[in-house]
Each structure stands twice: as C-alpha cells, then as structure tokens.
Structure 1
Amino acid sequence: MALSPGWRAVRSSGFLLFPWGTGSLLDPKMKAFLEENTEVTSSGTLTPEIQLRLLTPRCKFWWERADLWPLRDPYWAIYWPGGQALSRYLLDNPDVVRGRSVLDIGSGCGATAIAAKMSGALRILANDIDPIAGMAITLNCELNQLNPFPILIKNILDLEQDKWDLVVLGDMFYDEDLADSLLQWLKNCFETHRTQVLIGDPGRPQFSGHSIQHQLHKVAEYSLPEPTRQDNNGLTTSTVWQFQP
C-alpha cells in the first residue's frame, strides 16, 4: 500500500518515522477503515487503564475469512499476552521507565509503549514493520489522551544500534530464525550500551525452548484474564523476564 501525503511520513536514513502526529493528520480513508473495523476496548486484559482499538468478536473481520481482510495480517489488532504482562509491569513499577529512554520492538497496538509513557518515560520509540500498526498506535495514543510518540516502520534488527536505557519486546519469539536474530541483536545492545532488556512471553514453545532461557531472570508473572486465555489457546500466565547475558 502506498503512503498518501496525509500520512505525514518523514523519510530519514531510508526508514519511515511518524513524528508527533495526530489522528486528524492520518490518511482519512485508512483512519475511517480502522475505526469502522476495530472496537475500542479496555476489558478482558491485564491493563484496564489502557484503551485500545482491537479486533474483537463484535468486529466484522473477526468472523470473515482471513483472505478477505484487505491489508497484511492485522497482528497489531490483537493485544498479545506477552505485551499485556510487560504493560502491566511498567504500570505497576513506574521507576523502571521514569525519566528514561525506551524502545518498544514489535510494538503492535502500542500498549507497552503507551504504558511506558503513562509511567513517565522521557523518550519513546515504538517500532513495527507494518505501517498500519503505526496508524493504529497513533490512534491508540489519542484514545489515552497522550501525544503520539515517534514510530519507526522498519526492521530495526537491520539498523545500526542507537543507545536506549530500556528495550522492551513482547511476543516476539514465535519463529526460530527471528528468535536467533533477536538474541544476537539484544546481546550487542547490552554489550555496547549496557541497555536493560525486558521480554514478555506467555511461555510459547519457541521461547521456552530457546537458548535465551539460560540468560533470563524472571521479574514478574501474571495470571491472564479469561478472555485472553480463550483467545490464546488456553495459555494461563504471562511472564516478564530480564535479559542478562
């Protein structure tokens, strides 16, 4: 999908950045499509403080065949359990982010970045490879009365590493090759900048069976609400881990 001028995208060093926009500056047709085909909700998750536009059973495309969805798979429209745990942890422990710079990798709906902002993070970058996620994150910021933060639409693993006080990532260890690439990137990030890394995951086999397990320290575990359990094949808990290579 081509970006229209209404996206107010700024091209910098070969990637797209959505800086401090508002929903009114987003492509009107895409904004209307997202608003029509998602539901604003804060129920059934670990963070009732955060409102999000999500794909729910009350939405048309929840029931339609997947190939009828006109865009790439809407992973951003699901509030995944790893992200829920990370967001809950940041809301409950604001000292982890207050006054610090935070990078949210695979931001999706933007909930964890929003939680960081609510908890006093000084600088935030949300990263996702899907430009539609960028639009959804901006709309979700507005739902929570926050000024939208910058959103990087690029595979950050391919870019030169910047310095961040904290890197957070939830539900990203779903593919073995991606998990290997993430591990190496996070190692480099830690060794170069001594960056703190927090990972949220509900215990998927690709994560619990990966070698990264030898370099993790559990910091929090949460029981998932029943609606989240039902939507995630019966997973019952989600955990926040600190990466310590």
Structure 2
Amino acid sequence: SLTKTSGTSSRSTSQLGRHFHHRTPGNFLDPEVRAFLEENTEVISSGNLTPEIRLRLLTPRCRFWKERADLWPFADPFWAIYWPGGQALSRYILDNPNIVRMGSVLDLGSGCGATAIAAVMSGASHVLANDIDPIAGMAMVINCELNNVNPFPIAIKNITDTKLDKWDLIVLGDMFYDEHLADCLHHWLGKCIKMYGTKVLIGDPGRPQFTGHSIHRQLHKVIEYSLPEPTRRENNGLTSSIVWSYQP
C-alpha cells in the first residue's frame, strides 16, 4: 500500500508505462489513460470526511490495491488516495465557504483535486490545482466531472521553483512527509506570506515529519476532525486530522 513517508516514487518500465510516460503532460483527456484509470479505480463518496464530493480512487476492491506496485504503469498513484490532511481541508472549506468565497486559491500538491473542488463548490473566484504528476491532472478532470464542477486550471510542475504569484489562500494537505520537502515548503510559504500577505492552511494528521519540523512552532490549530473508520484503517490507525493556519 502507499505511504506518504518519503518523496520518492517508482516508475514501471512496462510497455504501457513507457507509452503513457512520454505523452504530453497537459493532455489530460488522453482516452487510453482515462480508460485505464476508470478500469482500475472506483468512484466513492463515503468512508471519508466529505461524502458530498465524489472521487475516483484506489480502494481495497481495486486490482492494484494489493498487486505489486511495479505493475502500475505510472508514477506511484498518490493522487488515488484521499489522504487525511486533504480530507480535513476539504471539510473545513465546505463548512466555512467564507474562507474562499470570491477569492483566489492555490491547492498545492492537489492529488485527487478534492480540496480544489471544495473551493470551487464554496464560491472561490479562481482556483489553481498543482501537482507534479500528470496522471493526477487526468484524475482531477475526471473528479470535476463527477461533481459537476467546471475543470479548474491545473499546473503540472514544481511551482515552488518558479516566480511567486499572488494568492489569497494557499492550501496544502499531507505534503510534510519528507524532511527536505518540508524545508522547501517552509521557506516558500514564508515568502508568499511576506510578499503578498497570503493566508496558508495546512492539513495533516500528525506525521512525525510535520510535528517534528520547525514550521510546527509557527502554526495555529484551527480545527481537528475525527477520521471515519475506513480512513483510519487505510492510514495505519490514525484517528484524527487537523487544519492548521501557518502564521510565521
């Protein structure tokens, strides 16, 4: 099973993997990729904190839930799991639409796109979803369709290496699973806040890489959610997830 404990991901060398890996990353409507994802994932809307959002994910009933990871022909499908931090952020935005209404929102490390979808549902004027995996881009398009949400812009690149843009709110869930990545995010988010006064919300269930990082001293706890039993089972018994406000 997938665990967000390191920043590495493996790629299969299968013929299918090579075929898709060299496709243009922005081509999120590739019918072959879409058919593969739909065949090997399941649409769910229960067992998590946001039953009003439908998502196509890997579940215990899917072929690749237990099959060898190297048979999956893309980068590790972190987007195919609805991680606890993302669940907490999405729940908080749906319950507090004033947080995003008529504002611009960047969903960093968007994965399945749930938090970006929650922002659109709650009235954000502009949403950008960002992930480094082009297959996540396809998943986001599919998940927008499942929720009757117009697809938002999707950036498939490491935007922390690019020029800073102005956002009213940056949200990121489950991104502090690697010490080096945590250091980079700490530095980049601090610059966004200093330059533009951007608000930052972080969702995390309490991973050691997050609670033990220096950024934790600059966080304000906004709300804590008890995780549903299916999410607990899929995340090694984690019982809750927290939304934090980053205030350096």
Shift of 1:213: 1.0
Shift of 1:3: 2.0
Q: Which amino acid aligns with 1:2?
A: H
Aligned equivalents of 1:31 and 1:176: distance in 2? 33
Shift of 1:198: 0.1
1:140 and 2:143 equivalent? yes
Unaligned runs of 5+ in 2: 1-20
The residue correspondences of 1:158-169 to structure 2 (distance < 5 A) are 158-169=161-172
What residue is the counterpart of 2:53 in the other structure? 50
Of 200, 209, 221 in structure 2, the residue corresponding to residue 218 of structure 1 is 221
What residue is the counterpart of 2:199 in the other structure? 196
Aligned equivalents of 2:162 and 2:141: distance in 1? 23
Aligned equivalents of 1:204 and 1:146: distance in 2? 32
What residue is the counterpart of 2:39 in the other structure? 36
Alignment TM-score, normalising by the size of structure 1: 0.92
Aligned equivalents of 2:225 and 2:47: distance in 1? 14
CA deviation vs aligned residue, 1:173-220 (integer Å, no higher than 9, x gap)? 000000000000000000000000000000000000010111100111
Shift of 1:156: 1.0
Q: Which amino acid aligns with 1:3?
A: R
Q: Which amino acid aligns with 1:206?
A: Q
What residue is the counterpart of 2:22 in the other structure? 2
Q: Which amino acid aligns with 2:205?
A: P
SS of the equivalent of 1:221 reads: strand
Q: Which amino acid aligns with 2:34?
A: K
SS of the equivalent of 2:140 reads: helix
Unaligned runs of 5+ in 1: 10-17, 19-24
Aligned equivalents of 1:61 and 1:222: distance in 2? 29
Aligned equivalents of 1:213 and 1:80: distance in 2? 20
Aligned equivalents of 2:109 and 2:23: distance in 1? 20
Of 218, 227, 232 in structure 2, the residue corresponding to residue 229 of structure 1 is 232
What residue is the counterpart of 2:116 in the other structure? 113
Shift of 1:70: 1.0
SS of the equivalent of 1:46 reads: coil
Q: Which amino acid aligns with 2:48?
A: T
Q: Which amino acid aligns with 2:122?
A: S
SS of the equivalent of 1:238 reads: strand
Aligned equivalents of 1:96 and 1:63: distance in 2? 39
The residue correspondences of 1:2-81 to structure 2 (distance < 5 A) are 2-3=22-23, 9=26, 26-81=29-84
Q: Which amino acid aligns with 2:213?
A: H
Aligned equivalents of 2:87 and 2:158: distance in 1? 22
Of 158, 162, 167 in structure 2, the residue corresponding to residue 155 of structure 1 is 158
CA deviation vs aligned residue, 1:17-73 (integer Å, no higher than 9, x gap)? x7xxxxxx7111101001000000011000000000000011111121111111110
Aligned equivalents of 1:3 and 1:115: distance in 2? 29
Shift of 1:241: 0.3
Q: Which amino acid aligns with 1:205?
A: P
1:89 and 2:97 equivalent? no
Aligned equivalents of 1:157 and 1:178: distance in 2? 10
Q: Which amino acid aligns with 1:92?
A: D
Aligned equivalents of 1:156 and 1:179: distance in 2? 15
Aligned equivalents of 1:27 and 1:210: distance in 2? 40
Q: Which amino acid aligns with 2:190?
A: K
SS of the equivalent of 1:203 reads: coil
Aligned length: 228
Aligned equivalents of 2:79 and 2:150: distance in 1? 19
